[in-house]
């Protein structure tokens, strides 16, 4: 698919990139939504175990280690200085389901953390709601966009491992 960069900001154009089997764990697939302005939203892919078998979420913990909590992430100014730096396998949070299974969500891409979704702390099962589709074919006025959205949807059904490397991706943040 390559590295498309579009300046058109007609509607919210998100490209979907799948990162499969994160850290070798089967089916722990993440889906990164990259906006045309290179800001990324890190989400769970539909194939992720958390979204299977009717699981519900007991708790979400943003405390990664003794010294690091994603909740303390603070950015300031137009250039968003101060965000925690993330590498491919940097953990974003740990999710505990009601059936005692635990999963770690990873950043998948390199960049700076902008914000985490805080309302899932109160309502963890918000995470289970499907991320609303942001590419609607008939809102596209631009042909190129339309083609890429088809490609994206097509990509969703492929389980092949995708080796896209975002360089440089600046602003990922957690949402699901």
Q: Which residues bind another protein (CB under 8 A)?
A: 7-12, 35, 37-39, 41, 75-78, 80, 114-115, 117, 119, 126, 131-134, 136, 138-139, 141, 170-171, 175
Tell me whether residue 11 or residue 61 sits nearer to another protein (CB atom): 11
The distance of closest approach from Cβ of residue 26 to another protein in the complex, given in angstroms and rounded to an integer, is 28
Q: E-strand spans in the chain? A: 14-19, 30-35, 39-44, 57-61, 63-65, 68-69, 85-86, 91-97, 102-106, 111-112, 171-174
Tell me whether residue 42 or residue 95 sits nearer to another protein (CB atom): 42
Q: Is the dihedral of CA 173, 125, 51, 145 positive or negative?
A: negative
Tell me whether residue 23 or residue 141 sits nearer to another protein (CB atom): 141
C-alpha distance from residue 41 to each of 37, 156, 173 (Å) = 12, 16, 5
The distance of closest approach from Cβ of residue 93 to another protein in the complex, given in angstroms and rounded to an integer, is 16
The distance of closest approach from Cβ of residue 77 to another protein in the complex, given in angstroms and rounded to an integer, is 6
The distance of closest approach from Cβ of residue 142 to another protein in the complex, given in angstroms and rounded to an integer, is 8
């Amino acid at each position: 698919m390559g590295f498309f960069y579009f300046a058109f900001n007609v509607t919210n154009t998100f490209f979907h990139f799948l990162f499969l089997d994160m850290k070798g764990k089967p089916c722990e697939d993440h889906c990164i939504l990259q906006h045309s302005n290179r800001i990324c939203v890190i989400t769970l892919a539909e194939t992720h175990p958390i979204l299977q078998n009717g699981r519900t979420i007991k708790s979400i913990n943003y405390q990664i280690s003794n010294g690091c909590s994603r909740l303390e992430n603070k950015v300031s100014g137009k250039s968003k200085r101060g965000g925690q730096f993330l590498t491919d396998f940097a953990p974003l949070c740990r999710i505990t389901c009601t059936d005692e299974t635990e999963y770690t969500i990873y950043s998948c891409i390199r960049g700076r953390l902008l914000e985490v979704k805080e309302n899932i702390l109160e309502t963890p099962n918000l995470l289970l709601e499907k991320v609303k589709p942001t590419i609607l074919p008939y809102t596209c006025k631009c042909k190129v966009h339309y083609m890429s959205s088809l490609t994206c949807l097509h990509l969703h059904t492929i389980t092949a491992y995708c080796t896209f490397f975002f360089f440089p991706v600046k602003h990922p943040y957690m949402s699901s």
